[in-house]
Amino acid sequence: MKKHRIVFRADGDLIAGYGHVIRSLSLASILKSKYHCVFIIREPDQFLKQEIEKICSEIVEVPKAVNYNKEASQITKKVINTNDIVILDGYHFDSKYQLIIKKSAYKVVCIDDIYDRHFTSDIVINHSEGIKESNYSREFYTKLYLGSKYAILRKSFLTNAKRELIPETSEQHVFISMGGTDQKNFTEKALTLCLKQKNITAIDIVVGSFYAHLEELKVIISRNKNIKIKIHSNLNEKEISSLMKKSTFGICSASTVSYEYSCTGGILFLYQTVSNQKKIFEFLIKTGSAFPAEDLNKKSSLLNSKKLKTEYFNLRKHYFSGNSAENLEAIFSKIESERGISIRKAAISDLQIYFKWANDPEVRHNSINTSQISLEGHNKWFKLKLKNKTSILYVIEKSGIAIGQVRLDKDKNGWEIDYSIAKQFRGKGFGEIILRNAILQFRKKHMDKIIGKVKQSNVPSCKVFDNLNFVKSKTFKIENIVYNMYTLE
């Protein structure tokens, strides 16, 4: 069976660093067994080309001279097709860029860490902790996946997280990594801090190809020949993992490398090297998964106590269990479940199936009017609804099979929405899917407020409205039964 395509779009260079590209490639490595991976990038250097070629089947280069919205229009014509999932990782992919891509692609996914714009993509993944859904400005259909359980890491680090997290050496062995470029030279700051500690026997420093302060490091190393200090550059995934595993503690930037180290290495100390690392820094410090680098002196008892280290690793494992690959794959499995979904207006030929759905015991139980409906009454009601301009009836199908219906009725307050799912399709997440597709269709012509009324005891339906960014505006009672009223402006 031919694989569907995932098209990744990210950039990296000496100034901005390689983080967005490496993160996208980490996700590609998790998904490539099920998808044909394509990578779009602006004028990559040789290192990035080689990294992309290891994982993706195709590289598409775009010129830097073109502005981003014009680029979006160009790649939708030349690269992206209607069956593609497109993944955007970068701060310049704004609302308009996302919308342009969305018109041509099957689904659009944004990888984010700063929630600084309005999102029009179908999905946003942010693996930082401490982020609330309310932090995001987004469309009603934009689904959020937040927290470290969706950590986008390379596979070997996730595998490491499932082992016993006790370093393989009893020596004080240090790992230092501040990212590929480290323009402010936190690497030297970390090295100087380590050299003030006692009992350190070896230090492994990882830098990128364009690290500009190599000579300063070499001078410091030459003055400290009693400690085995080694500088590493252009390491592959397994080589970095190996250095982390044998370290007693590490000093890292609060970026993806800190997540990798949390899966693999010893006690973690952190520097926040740039502003967009704030949430990861705060999360790791607050949970006790890491400590500020400046506190290295204060943590000598932790570094030398097996009991305290075991407690630390057990706590950290709560957040870094190594299961994020499965959680990320589940997101894309859900995306795949929507393929083949279509929506159309109801017709007179749907009368019988609507009658069957309406009298389903569970549908009647969750309705305001719980009485059974007669065929005669249903025929009259259905024919009037089809003619009525203040009612819209949608049938949602999957691969040509009707799976449910959505109805909207206009009143003075807006449009009241109601939905039901065929019995054999319940419990599979289709409630959210059919409601979202119906609202998207409805919004092509109508921008009025939408109102949903749901029995408070109908937890699955309440969750559907919550997930679609409806606001619970009030509760009310009918015959002593409590209902939630949800609104979508």
Q: Do 139 and 167 belong to one domain?
A: no
Strand order in the sheet with 471-478: 341-345, 391-398, 401-411, 414-421, 450-455, 481-488, 471-478
Closest CA to 416 of 381, 455, 450, 391: 450
Q: What's the Cα-to-Cα distance from 24 to each of 2, 60, 234, rounded to whole Å?
A: 23, 15, 18
Please check whether residue 332 lies inside any domain of the structure.
no
Summarize pLDDT for 338-348 with one digit per residue, the tens.
Answer: 999 999 999 99
Q: What is the DSSP string of 218-261?
A: HHHHHT-TTSEEEEEES--HHHHHHHHHT-SEEEEESSHHHHHH
How do 401-411 and 414-421 pair as beta strands?
antiparallel
Boundary (domain end) residue, out of 137, 152, 167: 152
Confidence of residue 363 (pLDDT cuts 50, 70, 90): confident
171 vs 179: which has the higher pLDDT: 179
- Write the pLDDT tens digit of every residue in 15-38: 677 889 999 999 999 999 999 999
Give the closest residue to 102 by CA, choosing from 92, 87, 114, 118.
87
CB 47 within 8 A of CB 67: no
Chain-wide mean pLDDT for the chain? Answer: 91
Q: Are residues 8 and 144 both part of a single domain?
A: yes
pLDDT in tens, 201-236: 999 999 987 788 899 999 999 999 999 999 998 788
Clarify whether residues 351 and 461 are in a common domain.
Answer: yes
- The domain that contains 409 carries what CATH number? 3.40.630.30
Proportion of the chain above pLDDT 70, given as a percent: 98
Q: What count of other Cβ atoms lies within 10 Å of the Cβ of residue 485?
A: 18
> Cβ distance 248 to 269 under 8 Å?
no
The verdict on residue 349 lying in a domain is: yes
Reported confidence tier of residue 103, pLDDT bands at 50, 70, 90? very high
**171 and 312 inside one domain:** yes
What domain range includes position 386? 341-488
Q: Are residues 301 and 387 in the same domain?
A: no
In a domain, 134, yes or no: yes
Residues 306-352 have pLDDT tens digits of 888 889 999 998 889 889 999 999 999 999 999 999 999 999 999 99
Q: Are strands 107-111 and 85-89 parallel, antiparallel or unpaired?
A: parallel
Read off the CATH number of the domain in which 214 is found. 3.40.50.2000
164 and 310 share one domain: yes
Would you say residue 331 lies in a domain?
Answer: no
Q: What is the pLDDT of residue 168?
A: 46
Longest dimension (CA), the chain: 95
Same domain, 287 and 165: yes
177 within 8 A of 204, measured Cβ to Cβ: no
Task: Answer yes or no: do 148 and 163 share one domain.
Answer: no
Catalogue the E-assigned strands of 326-462: 341-345, 391-398, 401-411, 414-421, 450-455
pLDDT at 166 over 70: no
Give a yes or no: residue 212 inside a domain: yes
Q: Is the pTM of this model over 0.75?
A: yes
The whole-angstrom separation of Cα 419 and Cα 447 is 19
Residue 318, φ and ψ in degrees, nearest 5: -60, -35
pLDDT digits (tens, 9 = 90+) for 416-429: 999 999 999 988 88
Q: Is residue 115 part of a domain?
A: yes
Is 291 found in the same domain as 214?
yes
Domain total of the chain: 3
Residues 168 and 32 occupy one common structural domain: no
What span, in angstroms and rounded, lies between the C-alpha atoms of 396 and 433? Answer: 9
Work out the percent of the chain whose per-residue pLDDT is above 90: 71
- Domain finish residue from 318, 352, 377: 318
d(CA 8, CA 442) in angstroms, rounded, equals 30
Q: Does the pLDDT at position 368 exceed 80?
A: no
Token representation of residue 33: 């067994």
Q: Say yes or no: 122 and 266 in one domain.
A: no
Q: Is residue 390 part of a domain?
A: yes
Residue, of 45 and 126, whose pLDDT is higher: 126
**Better-scored residue on pLDDT, 473 or 180:** 473
Same-domain check for residues 312 and 212:
yes
62 is a domain residue: yes
* Residue that terminates a domain, selected from 96, 125, 152: 152
CATH of the domain at 144: 3.40.50.11190
